[in-house]
Structure formats: structure tokens, C-alpha cells
Amino acid sequence: MATARFRFHGVLERFLPRERRGRAFAHACARAATLKNAIESVGVPHTEVALALVNGERATLSRIVREGDAVEVYPWPARRAPHEPGRPEFVADAHLGGLARFLRMLGFDTVHHAHISDEEIRRLARRERRIVLTRDRELLKCREIVRGGYVHARKPEAQLREVVARFGLVACARPFTLCLVCNVALRPVAKASILERLPPAVAASREHFVRCARCGRVYWEGSHYARMRAALDRLTDGGT
């Protein structure tokens, strides 16, 4: 057993009971506990930690906590540039259907279905290196989930703003390239082949259409598209 002093900064304080916020507190850690174990035992998932300092020096989360250590723990910045090459892909838990649709709308491959299990989420995180999005902090404590994001907001639009900012998604968004329902790529389709399915006003005013190869849904740049573009532009401007 080692007792160390912990101080959590920024958004990480939200995971703590009120009396532990804004100050350092002593915490007795299990024998041979790593920083990951200790930080998670006070309620903060390891995926939320960007930096830990022990006695003023940077430490990895596998470091063993020793008696008398002073530990400072910092979150990821609220906004950041894309941190790695390629486009991030996500898996969203069963409660985040609205967020999953918004991410698909921006062109980010996001696995989600209403009955997705924790086991499936963990498997997708491990095998496909997907970023796990959830409001279940116990799930994010799993060792096999290397990249994850705890979603603080409750409403889908606010959740999208949070995820776009945290993972630097504005620069690599490709709106309306994925089916919102199936999460598969949309392909151009000739207007003549779908004409009978279009509302007359759309048929009269639009020339370019895309279709989902799986479910057959047809998409075009309508009012929904304009609203989404406007929302994206607000994100780009740094507005909320």
C-alpha cells in the first residue's frame, strides 16, 4: 500500500467528487498499483489522460506508485489539430446513436447499432484501432481500449462539437460521403435511374445524387445538407 497525493486538472475534475476538485488530495493505492490503476480507482479513465507528472517529471501510466509521490494529471486539450495521419474511425456505444449519425454525416466511419455489446466495442477497438466513444467510464478503463473519448455532453449536437474539437476533425471532414444508416460509402447515381423516386421539387432543382449500395437510400444536397455545412462552418470558426 502506498499513499500518494493526486491533483487532477481541467475537465478531469468532472470525474471526481466535489470535495476532491481544485486541490491535491491523498489517496491510498493498492499494493504495486500502476498510475493507470491508481488514476482509474479514483474514477478517471486512462483514455482521458494526456499527461501525468510524478514529482515534477513526466511519467508513463505503467509506472508503479510509491509512497509520498506527488502526481499531477492533465487532460487532452479541448481543441487540437489532427494528431495522426489518416482519418480516425470510431465505434460509438449503444446510447450514442444521434452522435454516430452526425459523425457519419461528416464522413467519419462510425460503427454503432442499438444492441452493440461492450465485448464487440472492445474487439473493434483492438482489431480495427477504432476510437471508442462512450459515457460509460468503466468501459474506457479497459486496457485493450487504447484510444477512447468520454463524451461529457448529453445532447447529440453538443456531443458532436465535443468530439470534433477533441479529435481535430474539422480539417478532415467529408460531409455526405457515408450512408447515415449503414455507415457505407455513397456512390454517384444517374438521375434518370432514380427519377421516379424523387419528390417533384427535388427532381426539378437537383442534378447530382448519391446512393447507398447497401440500403438504396438516395441523398442529395438539400436543406439538410445546407444546415450541416453551416454547423460545420461554425465549428471551423471556433464558435459553439
- Which stretches of the chain bind Zn ion, using CB under 5 A? 179, 181-182, 212, 214-215
Instruction: Report how far residue 217's alpha carbon sits from residue 153's, in angstroms, rounded to the nearest whole number.
Output: 30
Looking at the Cβ atoms of 70 and 215, the one nearer to Zn ion is: 215
Q: In angstroms, give the least distance from the CB of 184 to Zn ion.
A: 6
Looking at the Cβ atoms of 59 and 103, the one nearer to Zn ion is: 103
How many Å is the Cα radius of gyration of the chain?
Answer: 22
Q: In angstroms, give the least distance from the CB of 189 to Zn ion.
A: 13
Decide if 99 contacts 133 (C-beta within 8 A): yes
Q: In angstroms, give the least distance from the CB of 178 to Zn ion.
A: 9
Q: What DSSP string runs through 74-143? A: EEPPSS----SSS---EEE-TT-HHHHHHHHHTT--EE--TT--HHHHHHHHHHS-PEEEES-HHHHT-T
Looking at the Cβ atoms of 51 and 181, the one nearer to Zn ion is: 181
List Cβ neighbours of 145 (8 Å cut-off, separation of 6 or more).
47, 121, 122, 125, 126, 132, 139
Looking at the Cβ atoms of 83 and 113, the one nearer to Zn ion is: 113
Decide if 56 contacts 143 (C-beta within 8 A): no
Q: In angstroms, give the least distance from the CB of 181 to Zn ion.
A: 5
Looking at the Cβ atoms of 29 and 179, the one nearer to Zn ion is: 179
Q: In angstroms, give the least distance from the CB of 183 to Zn ion.
A: 8
Instruction: Report how far residue 131's alpha carbon sits from residue 47's, in angstroms, rounded to the nearest whole number.
Output: 10
Instruction: Report how far residue 163's alpha carbon sits from residue 152's, in angstroms, rounded to the nearest whole number.
Output: 10
